[in-house]
Amino acid sequence: MPVAYLTRMDGTTQSLERVDSSIPFLFQEGYSQPQDQTLCDAIGKGDLPAVMPDVTKHRRAMALPATTFPRIRSFISVPITLSDGSLYGTFCAAGLTRNKELRARDAQLLEVLAGAAAVIIEPQFRMDALHRQSGASYAELMRAGGPDIVAQPIVDLESGERVGAEALSRFPTEWAKTPDVCFREAFALNLGEDLELLTLTKCGAIARRASGYLSMNVSPSTMFDPRFPAVMRAMPLPDILLEISEGYPVHDYDQLEQILRPLRDAGLRIAVDDVGAGFSSLKHIVSIGPDVIKLDRDVVTGVDTDPTLKSLIFALVGFAETSGTKIVAEGVETTEEAEALRTAGVSLGQGWLFGRPGPVEALYPPVPAQRTEPPGQITVR
């Protein structure tokens, strides 16, 4: 038969996904038509046999567009069924002339090929479906205002006084995904920059009523987004500490410097997050010259009993003192860890010992209606 093709049928439309034809101008990949007007659909519903050596003998077939153009006269179609029993599409062969040699065994051959096609198609099909579903979920979340924001206090290890807080995103509990996984998924769906800019805007509104500075996270790709400077300029920059995570590479530090310089001149401070978790954070420190270094919890946990961790932190403190950089230790959970960090010269701490992430209102009460001036500059000690 001169034509063989694989179709995708989604319940309303049939599309030709793969075509092998000696007359390609009549059968082109990507061509689509209403599913209920196709021979394949009629066969699937049992209105027509799977093997038709002479299509003209079937009144139902002759009422369909395919028998008028491209004037199909012989036809075989078998379903492509996925592992859960759902219909993906069909595997077909067609001719423009009658073919008296067509038999049931020809359909059996196509069934074998359709089964092999299903095995090849299904993994990517499932992944694409998951992406579409996830994309719709993230789009709906953003239309509703974005993730919820909670805040975790950052304290002076010497006095115990709260000097700031980190704004943290929280996604719907039914998603059962951590925030870092959600943001990475959003970037994989080409929604990452939109989601982060929306989240930054929400954090900026919180910063206007903050007592102490507010720390917020951002990925380098969002910082390269043309909308980023305007979003940041709408915030009280002297009260903002922008954290760049270790987990995201920077491909052009010179360009990043050009983007950040006007904002830093206006009071924005930059932190390198997750220091100690990998190589990228050290590259960020050398190339960006941050105002703050945030120690990863893996460096902090057990520092009171691990001499290697103590040596690493002493080295980082020494670097910070010579470069004018402040250090914040994340993941502080015990008084012993806090004391070891304080003794090593780390000035600020964050972790469950000082407070778990919670409602923003618990740290930042609503601003009285008469207050209109922006908060003053807060200095990280």
Please name the amino acid found at residue 343. Answer: T
Confidence of residue 237 (pLDDT cuts 50, 70, 90): very high
Same domain, 185 and 76: no
Position 381 in a domain:
no
Same domain, 332 and 204: yes
Position 32 in a domain:
yes
Q: pTM of the entire structure?
A: 0.69
376 pLDDT more than 50: no
Same domain, 122 and 172: no
What is the phi/psi pair of residue 294, to 5°?
-105, 115
Same domain, 25 and 129: yes
Element (H, E) at 119: helix 104-143
Position 274 in a domain:
yes
Same domain, 347 and 306: yes
Query: Which residue, 166, 207, 206, is CA-closest to 356?
Result: 166
Parent domain of 112: 3-133
CATH of the domain at 330: 3.20.20.450
CATH of the domain at 42: 3.30.450.40
Region 58-80: what's the mean pLDDT? 95
Position 237 in a domain:
yes
Same domain, 150 and 48: no
Same domain, 321 and 280: yes
Same domain, 58 and 117: yes
Give 257-298 pLDDT, tens digit per residue. 999 999 999 999 999 998 876 666 778 888 899 999 999 999
Q: Which pLDDT value is given to residue 278?
A: 63
Give 162-202 pLDDT, tens digit per residue. 999 999 999 999 999 999 999 999 998 899 999 999 999 99
Query: Which residue, 348, 349, 352, 350, is CA-closest to 380?
Result: 348
DSSP, collapsed to helix, strand or coil, labels residue 59 as helix
Same domain, 150 and 257: yes
Give 75-121 pLDDT, tens digit per residue. 999 999 999 999 999 999 999 999 999 999 999 999 999 999 999 99
Query: Last residue of some domain: 98, 133, 168?
Result: 133
Same domain, 128 and 74: yes
373 pLDDT more than 50: no
Query: Last residue of some domain: 133, 164, 180?
Result: 133
Domains of the chain: total = 2
Q: Which pLDDT value is given to residue 188?
A: 86
Position 379 in a domain:
no
Query: Last residue of some domain: 66, 101, 133?
Result: 133
Position 372 in a domain:
no
Please name the amino acid found at residue 209. Answer: R
Q: Which long-range contacts (CB under 8 A, 24 or more apart) does 272-278 make?
A: 272/243, 272/244, 272/246, 273/217, 273/243, 273/244, 273/245, 273/246, 274/245, 274/246, 274/247, 275/246, 275/299, 275/316, 276/312, 276/316, 277/246, 277/247, 278/246, 278/247
Position 373 in a domain:
no
Q: Which pLDDT value is given to residue 133?
A: 84
Position 179 in a domain:
yes
Q: Please say whether the beta carbons of 73 and 55 come within 8 A.
A: yes
Same domain, 229 and 315: yes
Same domain, 98 and 169: no
Q: What count of residues does the chain have?
A: 381
How would DSSP label each residue in 256-300?
Answer: HHHHHHHHHHTT-EEEEEEETS-HHHHHHHHHH--SEEEE-HHHH
Please name the amino acid found at residue 174. Answer: E
129 pLDDT more than 90: no
Give the CA angle between residues 199, 205, 209 to the nearest 5°.
Answer: 140
